[in-house]
Chains A and B, each alone.
Chain A
Amino acid sequence: MAESITTIVLSGQAQKVANQMKDSGTFPDALSAAKFGMSYAIKYYWEDVDTPEKLSKLNSIYDSRGTTYNIGSLDPDNYIDKLMSALYPGTNSPYAFMRALMCFGLNKLGDLLDEGRLFPINKAM
């Protein structure tokens, strides 16, 4: 059965990193930074996020102190939905998975940011 959620909330820590990435002037907004975080997690930390179980576990760890995003504006062309279906066949909670990936990826990028190694950003692409 398809997921019925219409919004997601990032964790407080992930939101902080997304805001810092936006404030650096490299990202147009925190949401783009969050999507970048999601891709970063998939590309460089696949072993940590390759099953729905792992993602569910991550989701249960993260708090909900970040900004609330509307799914409609977050994934207007359903690209993320399709991506989640491709990566996690049979899932019916693609946006919950997306949220876990975003938080995980942003936290990893936050580590780079703290070490002063996040920029130039092409190194993380």
Chain B
Amino acid sequence: MLHFDRMTLIDFGPYKGKQVVDFSDKSGVSIFWGNNGRGKTTLLNAFRFALFGVIQRRNGVLKNISEMSNDEAKLEGRYGFTVILDMTNDEDKYKLTRQIKQRPGLLAPGSDEDYEKVLFLAKNGSILSPEDRDHELNMIMPEQVARFFLFDAELLQEYEELLETNTSDGEQIKNAIEKILGVPVLQNGVIDIEDCLSNYEKQKSRAARADDKTVQLGQEMENLTANIEEHQNIVREKQAELGELIRKKQILEGRMADTDKLRNWIIQRNEAQKTLSKNEEDLEQVQADIREHMKNAWRGMLLSTVRDLREKIEHEESVLEAKKQKRNVADRFIIEMKKAITDRICPICGQEVSGSIIEHLRAKIEESTNEFSGLSEEERQRLYNLQGQMSSIRQLSVDVRDEKQEIIYLENRKEELQISIGEQKQLIGELADNIKRYGEASEEADILSISKDHSEVEQNIRDLRRGIEAENKKLAELKTSKEHVAATIDKMAGGTDYRLASKKYELCDHVFRIFEESKTRYREKLKQNVEKDATALFVNLTGDKDYVGLKINDNYGLEIIHRSGRTVPGRSSGYEHIVALSLIGALHKNAPLRGPIIMDSPFGRLDPTHKANIVRTLPDMAEQAMLLAYIGEIDDQVARKELGNHLIHEFRLERITSMHTEIR
């Protein structure tokens, strides 16, 4: 069983300088706590780099591996990086050193060409030859099965492909599963024995042909064998072609994904151009509206002045009017008083007026005449003028409106449109740059041809699969015919050579059938075991009593079984995560190849209960497990409580600078 003992990083990614991580030789779980950007995924990649020389990013494999050099180290004149992995496999000690080293004579290397790759593997203290090194590495950890040991839990949804039939991703994962489970050992055995069987069959046919009684049947047998071989070759060719097409389809899918981005940019740019045109059109209209309103805005601006003027005139007018009115009232009073003096009788009560009252009235008449003298001739003219002026001023307000509110609205709208136009122009510029840079010289026709090519490849894959099926059917028919001919020859032929050849063939055929049957049974048994173990893990992980197990399909895809017996459709991404982890755990239990699990972002999509369940279950999934979690992804108290003695060590990825992390 593989166990990682120690890792030494030198200037790898954010891990500046030499940093050594001791994993301990104990079984259990280590947790690396680190915030975003501190280098959790880089740490996972350090294992990948050491073992396979690749750096896997979420969007694919890193093309320029030298980019992993620590930036601060480069500024200090150190280029390149090293990862040393100390590990134990069964009783053997290994020290794997992989280095990206600056080529001699270069001061500041740039691309990968300026670096050389160095790889050593020491086994029990002795450095192995390149051939032995590659062989040993492939035995310890074949790259094809690495996905079950080193994985980014954010990408576990890829296991959903196993529920589909005939998807290229699904086939790749299925092959990897069979590889980790050891199925290829039997598969290779079957192929080798089939070759032997074919040789013995030829010997048998030759012997039959040499026998007078069966010469014709022997010939027929040989023809059938040749025919079968021919069809087998066709099947092999078609399978190779299928593999080639599946690869081509993957490339096209990659290009389609790229093109999708390009297409999205084109759509966005077109949308932005449409919005820009609309905004420009609207702006033009708003400007025209502003101009239209500004034509007479000057009149509205005068409304307050006109009002003030009117109020002023009204006031002066009212003062003069009041003066005039008082005089009128006083006149009526004076006339009445004069009449009372003349008639000596009160005009109101009709009683006689005494001499003293007459004197009093005379005084009053004089007083009123002085006090309410009325308008002077100048005032009278002024009042007249004011009244005329008032009439003109009133006309100044007729049909005049204050345009200010409308202009405020229009100018605000104008500003909004100008901002939007600026934004759209900027967006169009950025998108045009992206399209130009990313799309290079690709024509729209090329972009469309990718999707057409993809459809054609898919159709060819379907045709090929049908062709292979038809060939296999034909092969089965030919084999049946051959069996009949062979049976007839067996009855008729009596020569020693034939009997001997026949016995050898029969023996080999028995061995072949044993292997074939073993392979089928082994695969079936493995599937049952994987289903059983995955179910046990799943039940532990979910804790939901409604979900009683998992059901495996031919592709090793797992479906959740409800206690009613039916499968659960449309499971959530959280459950996809749990099912994938259950599958990985079950594969580890059933694989001849055992090793550590190193999991990046293990809890991303899960609720606290499921997080706790996973932590608790982790020690059962692998002898050595490492979790790379951000702080808060799971409560550290929960992790410690659930893991108990299984928690070996907690490491912290501490920020020194944005380009320097220390493992503590």
Contact = CB atoms under 8 A, between A and B. Distances in A.
Interface string B375-396: 0000000000100010011011
Contact of B291 (A28, A79, A83, A86): A28
A67 interface: no
Given A26-B291, A28-B292, A32-B295, A40 B393 contact: no
Contact of B305 (A26, A43, A82, A122): A43
A25 interface: yes
Nearest to B415: A120
B301 interface: yes
Contacts of A119: 411
B146 interface: no
Given A25-B291, A42-B305, A86-B389, A32 B298 contact: yes
Contacts of A42: 301-302, 305
B392 A86 contact: yes
Nearest to A90: B385
Interface string A19-33: 000000111100010
A38 B289 CA distance: 22
A46 B302 CA distance: 11
Contacts of B297: 36, 39, 125
Bin chain A's interface residue count: 20 to 34
Bin chain B's interface residue count: 20 to 34
Contacts of B415: 120
Contacts of A46: 305
B289 to A, nearest CB: 11
B287 A25 contact: yes
Contact of B411 (A28, A36, A82, A122): A122
B290 interface: yes
B411 A43 contact: no
Contact of A121 (B302, B385, B395, B411): B411
A86 B396 contact: yes
A27 B287 CA distance: 9
A82 B395 contact: yes
A35 to B, nearest CB: 4
Contact of B385 (A27, A79, A87, A89): A89
A95 to B, nearest CB: 15
Contacts of B392: 82, 85-86
Contact of B298 (A26, A36, A87): A36
Interface string B631-645: 000000000000000
A42 B300 CA distance: 12
A25 B414 CA distance: 12
A122 B407 contact: yes
Contacts of A79: 299, 396
Contacts of A32: 294-295, 298
Contacts of B306: 83, 86
A38 B298 contact: yes
A29 to B, nearest CB: 8
B385 A39 contact: no
B280 interface: no
Contact of A28 (B294, B298, B301): B294
Interface in B262-319: 287, 290-292, 294-295, 297-302, 304-306, 309
B521 interface: no
A24 to B, nearest CB: 10
B371 to A, nearest CB: 31
Given A26-B290, A43-B304, A86-B389, A125 B407 contact: yes
B408 interface: yes
A8 to B, nearest CB: 16
Given A83-B302, A86-B306, A86-B309, A121 B294 contact: yes
Given A83-B396, A85-B392, A89-B389, A122 B408 contact: yes
Contacts of A89: 385, 389
B563 interface: no
B404 interface: yes
A16 to B, nearest CB: 19
Across the A-B interface, give the 10 residue pairs with the lowest CB-CB distance, nearest first.
A39-B301, A39-B298, A120-B411, A35-B298, A28-B291, A122-B407, A125-B404, A122-B408, A36-B298, A86-B393
5 contacts: A26-B294, A89-B385, A121-B290, A122-B408, A125-B300
